[in-house]
Amino acid sequence: MNTIRRTAALVLAAVLAAACAALDPNDLLSRQAAPAGAPPDTPVPPPAGIGLGEAGRRAALDFVWTTVNERYYDAKLNGVDWNAARDRWQPRALAAGTDEEFWDCLDRMTGELRDSHTRVDSPRRAEEIARHESVTLGFAFRPLEGKLAVTGVNPESDAFWAGVRPGMTLAEVAGEPAHAAYAKALAEAREGSTAQAKHLYASRRILAGEEGSTAILAFARGDGTPFAVSLMRLRAKVRPRVAQRMLPSGFGYIRLTGWEQSMQGRMIAAIESLKDAPGLVVDLRGNPGGSALMVRNVAAQFFAKKDKVAIGRTLTRTGKPITLAFEWIEVVKLEQELEGKGAYLRPVVVLVNAASGSGSELFAGILQSQGRAKVVGQTSCGCLLAFMGYASVPGGGKLAYSEVGFAFPDGRRIEGEGVVPDVAVPLAIADLLVDRDRALEEAQAVLKRANVAAAQSPRHGP
């Protein structure tokens, strides 16, 4: 037996050395999985890829274009003329004044696919993502009621200590009317899956930048009084977290800010800790997504134990599963189902907004399509494709490219559309100004109605 095993191992090693493409037809092993992040006190190294030169830039552009052309999940590339995209962006990329501008050109080239998961990150941006960090002015805004309204403020930011608060409106950016600055940012931002996604890219062009750089901004308070302030861009940690509590209404509440696999145990523990609550709110607002495996494992907690639930079908370039080892191991199956764990079987509401993306949309869509939960809030990002890991681009950048699409059992797709809430609760400046969470209020009202209906329904058996 040992001789057979040794012989088999030698044969396998020889085959692997000669046929890596057969072992790993989807190029999974050579890529970096979702970054685990570095310890908080780890110094941020200087960005790689400084001074690429024309040869380096051509190598990076060739790698990005060819990889997408050969491996993108849709062989028709979403109907995009990919050769023409290269012709448009190559001269601009090669002539870019700085390497950061060069990487931005490559990202905007991939943006022509109108796919938020297919993107190029510069070495600097890749380092930030790996460390769960961002460099920002410390507030978020979005178009609302004809204005650019502040929707959130980081309490550790200059913006907070300068007095910027939700509900205020952005009036000027560096002396330019805010609407004009935003229109310029939209024009320069890469395309995304939806208008919601493109807003996120445009706002980042205004808010992000070099650590320590400053921006002079003008705001209008709720009473209309103006104030101007100089804000510094600071580095902020954005590591995912789980928080739970019992609300005064008696319903349970869990907030998850990112689907990182390391959060799975805490998320399931939070669900189990609230198992006696008559209803549960799962708040995924602002959660951009993450691990699809964690999504599946958490969603399984809301279905009866050992029930087999068909949740949809994955879409791949070849129409076949994604495999390893000569197609012996199916990494991603075509027909997707989960086995219920039965941790929580009472009424559930999922809260989403325009910044809920990817894994959050998959979770909300699974529970909604199965009639297991009501979705409350605003239509989500519409960014539901998947990549299996980052490919290293010559010069230090990172490429993510969509390898998997997803359709629910009824054929419905979230990509480009978003999860449409069962109960829509639009944002309102008046609510932001008084810190009123109308979506959470409506979520609890939905749970209350579900409990009343259950109490009034006829019961069978003893």
230-245 per-position pLDDT tens digit? 999 999 988 899 999 9
pLDDT at 325 over 80: no
Q: Which residue has the tokens 């708040």?
A: 283
Position 47 scores a pLDDT of 46
**CA–CA separation, 342 and 198 (whole Å):** 38
> Kind and range of the H or E element at 431?
helix 429-433
**What's the angle, vertex CA 357, arms to CA 356 and CA 363, rounded to 5?**
85
Q: What are phi and psi of 148, to 5 degrees?
A: -100, 95
pLDDT at 46 over 50: no
From 161-165, 212-216, 335-339, the region with the lowest mean pLDDT: 335-339
Name the nearest CA neighbour of 351 among 297, 419, 268.
Answer: 419
**CA–CA separation, 256 and 236 (whole Å):** 18
Higher pLDDT, 333 or 312: 312
Structure tokens given for 312: 């949809």
Position 36 scores a pLDDT of 42
Position 19 scores a pLDDT of 41
Q: Are 110 and 88 in contact (CB under 8 A)?
A: no
Using pLDDT thresholds of 50, 70 and 90, give the confidence band for residue 17: very low
pLDDT at 304 over 50: yes
Architecture of domain 242-453: Alpha-Beta Complex (3.90)
Tell me the pLDDT of the chain averaged across its residues.
89
Structure tokens given for 123: 């070495």
Q: Where are the domains of the chain?
A: 53-121, 133-237, 242-453
Do 133-237 and 242-453 come out as alike in CATH topology?
A: no
Position 32 scores a pLDDT of 56
Position 204 scores a pLDDT of 96
Name the nearest CA neighbour of 64 among 349, 369, 401, 328.
Answer: 401
- Which amino acid, residue 49? G
Position 9 scores a pLDDT of 36
CA count, 13 A, side-chain hemisphere, 89: 26
Q: Could you tell me the pTM of the whole model? A: 0.87
**CA–CA separation, 313 and 320 (whole Å):** 11
The CATH code belonging to domain 133-237 is 2.30.42.10
Structure tokens given for 48: 């790689």
pLDDT at 279 over 90: yes
